[in-house]
Amino acid sequence: MNLPAQLFALAAALTHLWIFTMESVRFGRPEVHAMFEVRATDLAAVRPWAFHQGCYNALLALQVLAGLTAAHSGAIAAGQALVLAAGVSMLAASVALIAFDPRRARIKGLIGQGAPALATLIALMA
């Protein structure tokens, strides 16, 4: 696995771990749930969904980190497969969220979520 692919994959994993902390750990803070346009009155109903989504993002990040670890341990094909699978999932989720946001209010954040995964996939193909 080439160095740019590894660096982009690491950036994608760190981005998704940050998203995990926002959705699963810090979601109750007013500045965090407001970032997701969730009113305080809706917090009790939305928080389980946010926690679940955060866990999903953490698992994608861990899949990338496992792939990088496997590649550095000599299992290059397995490592690339893990990074590729996680990268495709990360990018697909970002595209789906962009397509579903009718006001395009969060497009910068969603591009920020998907761009490292897209760069990883491009670098893997190089």
The DSSP result for 12-43, as a single string, is HHHHHHHHHIIIIISTTSHHHHHHTT--GGGH
pLDDT value at residue 104: 74
Q: Are 91 and 114 in contact (CB under 8 A)?
A: yes
Q: What is the pLDDT of residue 102?
A: 73
Q: What is the pTM of this model?
A: 0.90
**pLDDT tens digit sequence for 12-47:** 999 999 999 999 999 999 999 888 889 999 999 999
pLDDT at position 55: 96
Write the pLDDT tens digit of every residue in 49-66. 999 999 999 999 999 999
